[in-house]
Each structure stands twice: as C-alpha cells, then as structure tokens.
C-alpha cells in the first residue's frame, strides 16, 4: 500500500503494522489512489506506521499549530492534523497543484478542510513571509532533500520551547553510509544530518522508521 520501514523484512513489517492502530478507510483509499495516480512517485507517501506515530506524537505534545513542508497527496497532513488539539491549524507548503488537489479532496473526506491552510509556493518563500512572532508546536519536513538545511534554518527559530521537528528520509534508503553514492539528494541528506546534529538549540534522535525519521526537541 505505501512505503514500508526498509530496515524490516516484509514479514516483520506486516507484523508491526498489524499490531499498530491501522489506517482508517480514508487513509486506505488515499493510499490506493496515490498509487494509481502517481505510479512510482507513490513512494514519497509515508507508511501507515509512520502516520500513526505522527498522530500520536502530535497528541502527546498537545500540538495546536503545525507546519508541513512537502504535502504531496495529503497522507501525512491528515495524520498530523488528526493529532492536533481542537481548533488546531496545519500550514501545508507545496508547489504542486496536481498532487495537492488530491490532498484537498481527502482533507474534505476526513472532515479536516477547516484545519488546513495550503500555500502553493516555494516553501522558503512561504516560511520567510510568516509574520514575526509566528510559533509552531510541531513541524514536518519532507520535500526536496537539497533544501532541507534551508527549511530547518527557517523552521527551528519558529518552534516553541518543547516543540518538535520531524524530518523524513534521513537514512536515504541506507545510501547515507554508501561511500560510492554521490548524488545531490543523498549528499543533501548527509549535510542536513550533520547540520542538525550540530544545532545546540535541539536534542534529536534519528529513528529507523520508514526511510529514517529524525525527531528533534526544541530546548
């Protein structure tokens, strides 16, 4: 259905998913349509276990205001929004009208249309245009890998103390440790991982969830 945690065998992954709160009918339908409509690009969609984790994390920290960089067809945004406190808002940054048109339909199906604010523009432009004093409880970065450091540097100052930043694909399918791999995407992830680790504003851990999920806590 969606990308699985690559560090697990298919059998162990199936067991993990079957022992976790499953995606509901809206998320299952969205995953199926994403696969049908986007083909190989469907791998950009997070897996069900990561979605459940993100919903629970948002609830646990009492998140009310959140931002997502890279929305694709909306699976992750639904998961984040479902974890927000009543009256919460999720700012979604993306550049694709085609893919986010799918997201908007499923936001409505999930009853979350009023929770979402979609801005179709380069995410750095959107973030830099935010009013002074804008603070978020939670952020999720899952867009072009070469841009991760720029997104991080704009987002971390806008996270409240005790807030959380999640960053996806930080293992890059295991290629981060492959010395023969020199693509710009992989090097972007390596550079980001080093950059985030050196940031004394946060404590962080790189989790083997999906394709690697960095969780950073704003001190």
pLDDT exceeds cutoff 90 at 2: no
Tens digits of residue pLDDT in 151-204: 999 999 999 999 999 999 999 999 999 999 999 999 999 999 999 999 999 999
CA dihedral 123, 128, 129, 135 (to 10 degrees): 100
Percent of the chain at pLDDT exceeding 90: 88
Please give the residue range of the domain that contains residue 190: 10-218
**Residue 49 falls within a domain, yes or no?**
yes
Q: What is the DSSP code (8-state) at residue 74?
A: S
In the prediction, which pLDDT does 19 show? 93
Backbone phi, then psi, for 19, in 5-degree steps?
Answer: -105, 15
Task: Say how many residues make up the chain.
Answer: 219
Does some domain include residue 2?
no
- pLDDT of 6: 58
160 domain-assigned:
yes
Whether 5 is in a domain gets the answer no
pLDDT at 8: 78
Mean pLDDT of 52-68: 98
Digit-coded pLDDT (tens) for 13-43: 889 889 999 999 999 999 999 999 998 888 8
- Structural domain count, the chain: 1
For all residues of the chain together, what is the average pLDDT? 94
Enumerate residues 6+ apart whose C-beta is below 8 A from 133: none
Q: Residue 5 pLDDT more than 90?
A: no
Does residue 177 belong to any structural domain of this protein? Answer: yes
CATH code of residue 184: 3.40.50.150
pLDDT in tens, 97-129: 999 999 999 999 999 999 999 999 999 999 999
How crowded is residue 212: how many other Cβ atoms within 10 Å of its Cβ? 22
Query: Angle between the 75-83 and 97-109 helix axes, to the nearest 10 degrees?
Result: 40
> How confident is the model at residue 22, as a pLDDT?
92
E-only strand ranges, 70-192:
89-94, 116-120, 136-141, 159-168
Q: Which residue spans within the chain are E strands per DSSP?
A: 65-69, 89-94, 116-120, 136-141, 159-168, 202-207, 213-218
As given in the structure block, the two tokens for residue 17 are 């998913």
**3 in any annotated domain:** no
The arithmetic mean of pLDDT across residues 49-55, rounded, is 96
């Amino acid at each position: 259905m969606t990308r699985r945690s690559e560090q697990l065998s298919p059998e162990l992954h199936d067991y993990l998913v079957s022992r976790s709160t499953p995606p509901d009918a809206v998320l299952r339908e969205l995953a199926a349509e994403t696969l049908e409509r986007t083909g190989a690009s469907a791998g950009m969609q997070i897996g069900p276990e990561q979605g459940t984790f993100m919903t629970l994390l948002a609830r646990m920290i009492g998140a009310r205001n959140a931002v997502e960089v890279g929305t694709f067809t909306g699976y992750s945004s639904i998961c984040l929004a479902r974890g927000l406190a009543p009256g919460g808002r999720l700012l979604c940054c993306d550049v694709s009208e085609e893919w986010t048109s799918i997201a908007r339909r499923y936001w409505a199906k999930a009853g979350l249309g009023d929770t979402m604010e979609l801005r179709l523009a380069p995410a750095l432009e959107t973030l830099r245009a935010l009013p002074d004093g804008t603070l978020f409880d939670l952020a999720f970065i899952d867009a072009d890998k070469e841009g991760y450091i720029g997104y991080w540097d704009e987002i971390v100052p806008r996270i409240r103390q005790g807030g959380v930043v999640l960053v996806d694909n930080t293992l890059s399918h295991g290629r981060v440790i492959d010395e023969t791999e020199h693509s710009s995407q992989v090097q972007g992830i390596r550079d980001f991982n080093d950059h985030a680790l050196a940031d004394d504003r946060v404590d962080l851990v790189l989790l083997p969830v999906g394709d690697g999920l960095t969780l950073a806590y704003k001190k």
